[in-house]
Amino acid sequence: MPISKNKIKYIRSLEQKKTRREEGVFVAEGPKLTGDLLGHFHCRYLAATAKWMEVHPLVQADEKEVASPDELQRASLLKTPQDVIAVFEQRKEQVDASVTATQLCLALDDVQDPGNLGTIIRIADWFGIEHIFCSFGTADVYNPKVVQATMGALARVHVHYLSLKELIGSLKNIPVYGTFLDGTNIYTQSLSETGLIVMGNEGNGITPEVRSLINRKLFIPNYPTGKETSESLNVAVATAITCAEFRRRFIAP
């Protein structure tokens, strides 16, 4: 039985944040991404080619349908549709700021580009960072572009939305790092194995109200020192460099 027009319309409507929020779901596409999320998120609906279904006969979903490539193309939110598309329930995250005392965590202050957010989640996963705290101005983690960019890391990284000012203000004796042009060279600064690393907006950096609460300001130097270079780094690239340096310090020899 082909996918109904209503079902295709429903899947495509989930490109809108308002609809995703009302329904409490999000869309994922492609064999790897879908496979990574299955088991971590409850799957309400899954449509795939007959070949994919044959290879994955035990996949768990409230509703499953075999679909033709043409049907998947009409339902897809991607430029290049793949063999499977799934609708998952959003995860109900419990915010616990105390994890900053025992783990290294990230905070994103109005990171608005979906691709950057998805890449940062993937970076966090690579460096074993399990929690990301996002300001309300940060892109929606369930935006299809974000979900695709995570490459499945969303299964292991927990993303929380809250007031960063209130979060950081509630932390006691916790190191809070941020990257600034007037900070201390990250390669000479003392770093801790736990705490919070704040990364800012693509164009404006960290907001003044959050900046005032950061107690350890870092700077990623260019090379060679003093040479004229690009004005700044992409926030996802800066996040990768920063996380790599933190982890490098504490890798057992």
Burial degree of 204 (CB within 10 A; 0-12, 13-18, 19+): exposed
Predicted local confidence at residue 37, as pLDDT: 96
- Give me the half-sphere count of Cα atoms (radius 13 Å) on the Cβ side of residue 122: 17
Average pLDDT on 206-215 reads 96
DSSP 149-171: HHTTGGGT-EEEE--HHHHHHH-
pLDDT digits (tens, 9 = 90+) for 94-115: 888 999 999 999 999 999 999 9
DSSP state of 98: G
pLDDT tens digits, one per residue of 37-88: 998 999 999 999 999 999 998 999 999 999 999 999 999 998 887 899 999 9
pLDDT average, residue stretch 202-207: 93
Q: Where are the domains of the chain?
A: 5-89, 97-249
Query: Two tokens at 252?
Result: 């057992």
Architecture per CATH, 5-89: 2-Layer Sandwich (3.30)
pLDDT for position 1: 62
Which architecture characterizes domain 97-249 according to CATH?
Answer: 3-Layer(aba) Sandwich (3.40)
Rounded mean pLDDT of 121-146?
Answer: 97
* Residue 33 burial class via C-beta count within 10 angstroms: exposed 0-12, middle 13-18, buried 19 and up: buried
Alpha helices in the chain (DSSP H): 5-13, 17-23, 31-37, 50-55, 69-75, 114-126, 144-150, 164-170, 208-211, 235-249
* 225: number of Cβ within 10 Å: 7
